[in-house]
A = this chain, B = another copy of it.
Amino acid sequence: MTEHIVSAFENELKGLAQRVAEMGGLTEKQIVGAIDALIRGDVALASTVRAADPTIDAMQREIEEVGILVIARRQPMAIDLREIVGALRIAADLERIADLAKNIAKRVIAINGSLPLPKVTGGFDAMARLALERIKEVLDAFSQRDVAAALEVWKSDGDIDALYNSLFRELLTYMLEDPRNIGACTHLLFCAKNLERIGDHATNIAETIYYVVNGTTLAEERPKLDTTTIVAAGT
């Protein structure tokens, strides 16, 4: 390759990473919007979040197309190839995160904006704050190719799981206390689960960063602290 071509290739790689960073920014905005809508009972904001989702889907498709074309045209090896594969994987995770935020927004519309249980606001606020922090940290780690920071995110997913478990139990209690809460609490259970899954995607992204930089896969199994599927039913 001539230097001219190498440099064009490097620009392509940078452009791809830049596009992933933009997509990450929009995705963060969607999480913030969905949670603000939930906590404030803001149906108009929820509708805005819902309407913005196709833009993020389109960004993912574009990143995939560009990435695949660059692989086919440049035949990159080793680290360069991993950079592109990493961008594709992270874009796929961001698309799914945005989808989970959109689903929260849809449920805000379903419960007509009124959070029927102001007492769960704190639980959602804490979970959302933590999920958002993890996404920010892991996207920063990606932009710096900082494996140590990525590993921190990967190791700390248990914190979100713990908040989820406690919120899950709290919601079940309110359903048991008063059957009139059941309909809305069901939506809130799914919202809480969505935030927990956003945390899982942050750890996926951390694994991708590890792979991009080191060329190997994080072998160790991540400790999984979601215990709601092992809680005795009927409680």
Interface residues of chain A, those whose CB is within 8 Å of chain B, are: 61, 64, 68, 71-73, 75-77, 81, 85, 92, 103, 106-107, 109-112, 116, 172, 175-176, 179-184, 186-187, 189-190, 193, 217, 228-235
Contacts and interface: CB of A to CB of B under 8 A. Distances in A.
B183 A186 contact: no
Nearest to A77: B72
Number of copies of this kind of chain in the complex: 2
A181 B235 CA distance: 9
A139 B215 CA distance: 32
Contacts of A235: 183
Given A112-B233, A189-B186, A68 B92 contact: no
Contacts of A116: 233-234
> Most chain-B Cβ atoms within 10 A of its Cβ — which of A71, A107, A187, A217?
A71
Contacts of A81: 68, 72
Nearest to A114: B233
Contacts of A85: 64, 68
A49 to B, nearest CB: 13
B187 A233 contact: yes
Contacts of A187: 229, 233
Given A92-B92, A110-B230, A175-B186, 7 more contacts: A64-B85, A110-B233, A172-B182, A180-B234, A182-B182, A187-B233, A189-B189
